[in-house]
């Protein structure tokens, strides 16, 4: 498991009106325990594309990056971790500019 230590959120513009609803990009700084396979001394963040369409909201995509190298890691979040991320996004989506 991980702890979210910081974040940013922005509305993703859709200039052509192709997508239904709105998309938001979250950058979540995470802290992972040293014994977790995801752990990196470089630090980690998760880039999340979060969709809100009426009363439906979901994670469209997520990627995990090493902080200092910006290297994309070949890991997926587990289901319980995705639920934490989804709840966090739902709580903070109103802060997007």
pLDDT, one tens digit per residue, over 19-69 is 888 999 999 999 988 888 888 888 999 999 999 999 999 999 999 999 999
pLDDT at 97: 65
- C-alpha distances (whole Å) from 93 to each of 14, 25, 33, 35, 78 are 17, 9, 27, 31, 22
Domain that holds residue 44: 2-93
Task: Give the residue from 58, 47, 48 showing the smallest Cα distance to 20.
Answer: 58
Count of domains forming the chain? 1
Instruction: In the chain, count H helices and then E strands.
Output: 1, 5
Token pair for residue 22?
A: 């709105």
Tell whether the model's pLDDT for residue 17 goes beyond 80.
no
pTM: 0.91
pLDDT at 67: 93
Helix H or strand E segment including 80: helix 79-92
CB 89 within 8 A of CB 48: yes
Tell whether the model's pLDDT for residue 84 goes beyond 90.
yes
CA atoms within 13 A on the CB side of 86: 15
């Amino acid at each position: 498991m991980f702890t979210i230590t910081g974040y940013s959120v922005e509305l993703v513009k859709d200039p052509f009106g192709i997508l239904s609803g709105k998309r938001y990009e979250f950058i979540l700084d995470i802290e992972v325990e040293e014994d977790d396979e995801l752990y990196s001394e470089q630090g980690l963040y998760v880039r999340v594309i979060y969709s809100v369409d009426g009363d439906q909201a979901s994670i469209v995509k997520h990627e995990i990056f090493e902080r200092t190298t910006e290297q994309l890691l070949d890991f997926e979040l587990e289901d319980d971790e995705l639920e934490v991320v989804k709840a966090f996004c739902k709580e903070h989506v109103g802060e997007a500019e």
